[in-house]
Amino acid sequence: MPFRRFKQKNTRDSNQLSSNLNQNIHTFKLAFADCSDIVFRPFLINGEKKAMMIYFVGLVDFPELDTNVLSPLMEKNESQEKDMAQWIQEKLSVAKVSAITSIEACIQEISMGNTLLLVEHEKMGAAIELVGYEKRSIEEPSSEQVVKGPRDGFTETINVNIALIRRRIRNPKLKVKTLKIGRSSQTDVSMMYISNLANESLVTEVYDRLKRIDIDGVIETQSIEELIEDHPFSPFPQILSTERPDTCAASLLEGRVVILVDGNPFVMIAPTTLLSLLQSSEDYYQRYILGSAVRLLRYFYVGISLLLPSLYVAVLSFHQEMLPTKLIISISTSREIVPFPAIVEAIIMEVTFEALREAGVRLPKQIGSAVSIAGALVVGQAAIQAGIVSPPMVMVVALTGIASFTIPRYNLGATFRLLRFPMIALAGTLGILGIMLGLLVILTHLCTLRSFGVPYLSGIAPMQKNSFKDFLIRAPWWMQSTRPHFTGKYNKFRQGPNQKPGPQQGGD
């Protein structure tokens, strides 16, 4: 009798396993030809029935395989009155065993790192989950460090990442849907949401977009992001990426959907807005007065990172009367030996700064920061002495670079760095009018963007009164009684009334 008590897996494969063990072994040896890391382990079940274990070296937990599978099955028993399927079911002390009848499904299970058990005269194989490859330990995310707050971050193992989120939201309504994407990679991609908070149409839309992806393989999250976003030609990120489980948990409690990809520590959150991308986790781990002040300072520096070089070029090229006389004389004196106009000078320095930034990222960690800092000092000083650029321009570019580091999300910071160049070009050709024209184009583009149907400027356009409690400032927790409103019906209130702390009223 086949493994009737095992959890059955639905399959549409027509190529079925044979009851002849040797024929099955021959089939799998042909399928995994020239794979030196695959193991075919023959043994006798109960000392009398032929069986075969098939697995990949490095993907299987060998101690658990020996202790919980091979040893119990090979142990001799005086009598075996039960059928083989029931007997194996009782002998295996592992968490998950699935019965498979398709050769294609068996190949997929072996490729995923599971162990396949084949038994003589049985037309089914048992896929035993004994994955034991090396895993990176849970560490603090290097790209989203905080002074106060949790220190754990996602790893490359999707099950660990799901567990990190479940530790924070212990609710049976937290749902997980998993599907495999990639013809060759067969990568596990999971979608998490809270069923009574996330809008059903949003959950359906995210799942449908994931399901229609048809590519060879998924190596990282960026390929998934580019295949499911609303506006593929926009430079602005429309999905939030994070390495922090606390950020994912907070987003789930707001009714968003989280997408996890096996093999990548970055998790995607949808939908997202421009305001969400400009907020940091640490805004909520400090007192609301300090968090609000830091957030306002961040918005100011975001504007500097986009506009400061272009304003400098526009003023020097067309609007010298906007500066005090002493300041314009000082700047003109410093630029006497510079042979280039302000626009060329700005582009040279911006390109040089981006090259130093990229070199610092690509070099080994031990020398990357030292090279980028020393390179900036040496190149900047040499350029000034050679008369290629002026000291005010070096200061403007340096301040702009520092301002760009205050943007919490790297991909959004890269977008502002990219937009800086056309803004400089507009300022060098049309002055302040060009800057206003560029801002108008950017604002119009932002108003047209959607993230899974949600306006990118949600909270501002369309304006939502409740969103202002978490927009320019970070209101205290007892004031944030409602969730963000994305699309359709939603669970509005996230805390009870009268949460403001203070002395009890009406007590004895």
pLDDT digits (tens, 9 = 90+) for 157-187: 898 999 999 999 998 999 999 999 998 888 9
pLDDT of residue 508: 43
Whole-number Å distance between alpha carbons of 393 and 486:
43
Within-domain flag for 256 = yes
pLDDT digits (tens, 9 = 90+) for 85-95: 667 767 777 76
> Is residue 441 located within the same domain as residue 311?
yes
Q: Give strand ranges (E) for 182-275.
A: 187-194, 240-242, 257-261, 267-270
Which H or E element spans position 403?
helix 391-404
Within-domain flag for 280 = no
Residue range of the domain that includes 44:
7-128
Computed on alpha carbons and rounded to an integer, the radius of gyration of the chain in Å comes to: 30
pLDDT digits (tens, 9 = 90+) for 454-467: 899 987 877 777 67
Bridge-based pairing state of the strands 174-181 and 115-119:
unpaired
Helix-then-strand count for the chain, H and E? 17, 13
> Is residue 77 located within the same domain as residue 109?
yes
Which H or E element spans position 198?
none
> Which residue among 455, 479, 494 closes a domain?
455
Within-domain flag for 396 = yes
> Is residue 367 located within the same domain as residue 442?
yes
pLDDT digits (tens, 9 = 90+) for 85-123: 667 767 777 767 788 888 988 998 898 888 899 988 888
- φ, ψ for residue 273 (rounded to 5)? -130, 170
> Is residue 300 located within the same domain as residue 261?
no
What does each C-alpha distance from 72 to 95, 141, 322 come to in angstroms?
A: 15, 42, 86
What confidence tier does 194 reach under pLDDT thresholds 50, 70, 90? very high
* Residue 175 structure tokens: 């749902």
Within-domain flag for 140 = no
Q: Residues with Cβ < 8 Å from 431, sequence gap 6 or more?
A: 314, 317, 318, 319
Within-domain flag for 412 = yes
Average pLDDT over residues 124-129: 85
> Is residue 299 located within the same domain as residue 434?
yes
* Residue 106 structure tokens: 């068996």
How many structural domains does the chain have?
Answer: 3
pTM given for the model: 0.84
> Is residue 378 located within the same domain as residue 448?
yes
> Is residue 361 located within the same domain as residue 387?
yes
Among 427, 452, 386, which Cα is nearest to 205's? 452
pLDDT digits (tens, 9 = 90+) for 53-91: 999 988 888 888 888 888 888 887 655 556 666 677 677
What confidence tier does 209 reach under pLDDT thresholds 50, 70, 90? very high
> Is residue 308 located within the same domain as residue 450?
yes
Q: Is the pLDDT of residue 190 over 90?
A: yes
Whole-number Å distance between alpha carbons of 80 and 231:
64
Mean pLDDT taken over the chain: 85
HSE (CB half, 13 Å, CA atoms) of 121?
8
Q: Is the pLDDT of residue 135 over 80?
A: no
Among 440, 376, 451, 460, which Cα is nearest to 412's? 451
> Is residue 305 located within the same domain as residue 243?
no
Whole-number Å distance between alpha carbons of 285 and 294:
12
Q: Is the pLDDT of residue 415 over 90?
A: yes
Of all residues in the chain, the percent with pLDDT exceeding 90 is 37
Within-domain flag for 150 = no
DSSP helix/strand/coil, 60? strand
Within-domain flag for 353 = yes
* Residue 7 structure tokens: 């959890």
> Is residue 383 located within the same domain as residue 237?
no
Residue 158 CB neighbour total at 10 angstroms: 21
What confidence tier does 507 reach under pLDDT thresholds 50, 70, 90? very low
Average pLDDT over residues 249-271: 93
Helices (H), 318-364: 325-334, 342-362
Q: Is the pLDDT of residue 202 over 70?
A: yes
> Is residue 175 located within the same domain as residue 28?
no
What confidence tier does 368 reach under pLDDT thresholds 50, 70, 90? low
Within-domain flag for 505 = no
- φ, ψ for residue 32 (rounded to 5)? -110, 35
Place of tokens 């799998």: 28
> Is residue 400 located within the same domain as residue 313?
yes
